[in-house]
Structures are given as structure tokens and as C-alpha cells.
Amino acid sequence: MTRKLLASAAAAAMALTGIVVAGDAWAASTLGASAAQTGRYYGAAIAAGRLGDSTYTRILTSEFNSVTPENEMKWDATEPSRGSFNYSGGDRILNQGIAMGAKVRGHALLWHQQQPGWAQSLSGSTLRSAAINHVTQVATHYKGKIYAWDVVNEAFADGNGGGRRDSNLQRTGNDWIEAAFRAARAADPAAKLCYNDYNTDGINAKSTGIYNMVRDFKSRGVPIDCVGLQSHLGTSIDSTYQQNIQRFADLGVDVQITELDVQQGGNQANIYAAVTRACLAVSRCTGITVWGIRDTDSWRSDNPLLFDGSGNKKAAYTSVLNALNAGGTTPDPDPDPEPEPGAGCTATLTPNTWNGGFTANIRVTAGGTALTGWTVGVSLPSGSAVTNAWNATVSGSTFTNVGYNGQVPAGGSTEFGFQGTGTPPTAAPACQAR
């Protein structure tokens, strides 16, 4: 009798967290819980103005384990007048995410659209200074609370061979994206920093232009942690979708599906499932966000979401849930290890190898106490050597923080990298707090 009571209590507890038992099989009954089984999130972009809608919030809080603000953290919302910041809408989204125990993605620090009028009137070095100050102030306000930032949004053009989009930001100098990422890292060392764009779902000229930028950033130590594929899809999915995710992952960055929606029709459920399976197949594809909750909440008029206007689950919802519960790769090695309570620091290494050489990205994570400095030792295979490093000083195969990344909050992270000849290390790096 006692055993039966314990089993019933356990089943009730699991039902509350979105886990159900069917026979001998374990299966999650919500999108967030099923994604979490493989170490991922399944999130939704939300609007602060809709949080008073009971159907909207019921679906949000029961189904998703990540939130992204639709507009509340963009430049026109957060700095309507130069130097005067308003975080009310963004804070409401943040607090909703915290209350749910969800990850919060920040969107977006710099974008050529939705700039306040005062920024649109600026140019050159004056605009550059204002833009970098904006990144610094907003990222500092949310320091330690944002899982990932879309630092720069939609800076590449369609149909010009993979080149940059002409904009007032681009005309401040081609290094403006790099400057934004460096400012974001300095302001919030713990947040993942992403570049986000659309029409980049398969291997094409635009996605290749972004790929080349990320590869350049990684080689020079520009802090970039992830690439966002918006995935606003029609009635088909590019045959190279998974291959495209994988090639970005092979550069040593995470991939996040950031704004998924799919035109309704006979193939909608299949496309949603295909996107889910592609993400699950790549260990560094860390999560999926749908852009809205119900069809009536979407910016599109073709009913592209998982719930209809009344909040009912559509066939596409079931296809996603089934795909998530079928499982996939689990992110390994974990780029964000949970520190042991009170531990000084830990370090994880992600290599990228080519014939005769390699680069390595190392993430340093503070334990239960903030770091004021750190040293990481790497054990190199025989015949291998370090040729250069970024975001750290190097002596042999020992790396020490530079001035701007030595202070890491408890549980927070920072990154550095190095290039070498020979084969990359396989042993876990040793981290020592200073």
C-alpha cells in the first residue's frame, strides 16, 4: 500500500512539471518539458500588452520554458530620448520569465529598424558613440539576468552576394558589429551573444556571408557565442537546413532557432517537425523560439503558429511534441556547466579542427563566489603548440585573464580562445581562481 501511495504521489508531481508516465515509457506533455529532456528550451516571443489575456498567459506558463520580448527591449522602446532609458516593458517581460523559471532572451540591442527618431537623425562617429552607449547601458541594466542577447539583428542584405546591408549603422564603419559585440561582452560577461538574421535557414549567399563573419570573429577573438536563424518559413524547408546549423556549430558557436513560424497548409505540421528534428540532431542547437503563441498573436496573416486563435492546439503542436519526445542529441560538452557550490571556477573547451591546426574556445565559469581573476591550464598533446590567443594572455599553455574579463559574477561565465598547430587538446582544462 505504501509503495502504491508513493507511486501515486510521484505521478502527481511529475504531472505538475509536464512529465507523464505511459506504461513503462516516460514522456513529456508540454513543449518546454519535452525540450528540457535533451537540455534545450522551447520558447515563445511574447508581448507585455498581452500578459493580461488569461488564455495567452495560460498557454505561455504551461507550455514554454523560454521567453523573448517582441518589441520591449528594442532601441526605440528602451531609449526613446537620447540618454533617457525606459525599461518598464522589458522589465515586465523579464519578470514574467523569472516567475516562470524560464530563460529570457534579449532582443535586440542594435537593428537598422525600430530606431528612435533621434538615432535616425545621427550619422558617423556621433551615431557610433550613441549606439555603443546604448548597448552598454541596456546590457548593463539586465546584467546577469539575460540568457542570450541578439546583439545585432539583420545586418546582412538579401541578393547582393552575401554582403552587408546598407544602413546608417553600417555607414559608421564596417567594424560596427564587432564593436557592438565587444561592448555587450564588457557589459554582461555571462550572457550569450548572438547574431540574428532571416533568410539564412539553408546554405545560401546570405548565410555564407554571416558564416564568414562568424569564422573571422572566432579567429580574432571577437566575442560571439551564437547565431540565430529566424526561420520564417512558407510551405517548404530548405534541404540544407540541418547542414547549415551544423556548419555554424562547427565554428564553435551555438545555434538558436529564434523566430520560428510556418505558413499554415497541408505541410505545416511536417515542417515544424522537420525544424525540431534538425535542431535535435545538432548538439549545439540549444533551443527553438516560436514568434508568438496563437495565430491571432502573429505578425503574419497565414495562421503560422502552434495554437489557433482560440488557444487550441493544432496538428503542428502535436508534431513538435512528438519530435521532441522522440529525443535527439544532448549538448555535449555542456558549454554552460553548472558550477559546484563554492567552487572557484571551471573551464570547458570546444575545439574546431582543420588539417594541421585548430582553434579552441574556452568558457570559464565562476562557482559560488565571484572571480576577480582566473588562470586556465591546458594540457596539449605531444607535438601541438599554441600560436596565438585572444581575450587572454598566454605563457606556454597557461592562460590568464586580461583586464576586462577577470571579474566574473558568481555563476557567470566569460570566454577566451587560442589557435594552435597539431591536434587539439582532449583533456578538460584546469581552472584556478585568483
Active site (catalytic) residues: 154, 259
CB of 279 within 8 A of CB of 241?
no
Measured distance CA(247)–CA(250) in Å, rounded = 5
**Opening angle at CA 94, ends 93 and 96, nearest 5:** 65
Consecutive H or E run containing 354: strand 345-354
Chain center to CA of 222:
17
Q: What is the sign, positive or negative, of the torsion defined by CA atoms of 362, 281, 307, 74?
A: positive
Q: Beta strands of 230-322 (E only): which ranges?
A: 232-233, 254-262, 285-290
β-pair type (393-395, 398-400): antiparallel
Q: Cell 492546439 appears where?
A: 313
Contact 319, 275 (CB under 8 A): no
Pairing of strands 25-28, 254-262: unpaired
Distance CA 359, CA 418 (A): 6
Place of cell 540574428: 196
- Are 376 and 414 contacting, i.e. CB atoms less than 8 angstroms apart? no
What's 71-135 look like in SS3? CCCCHHHHCCECCECCCHHHHHHHHHHHHHCCEEEEEEEEECCCCCHHHHCCCHHHHHHHHHHHH
Q: For 350, which DSSP code?
A: E
CA-to-CA dists, residue 253 to 137, 181, 200, 335, 350, angstroms: 25, 14, 16, 10, 9
SS (H, E, C) 372-403: CCEEEECCCCCCCEEEEEECCEEECCEEECCH
| Distance, CA of 77 to CA of 114 (rounded, Å) | 8
Measure the CA–CA gap between 408 and 104, rounded to whole angstroms.
20
The SS3 call for residue 8 is helix
- The span from the first CA to the last CA of the chain, in angstroms, equals 56
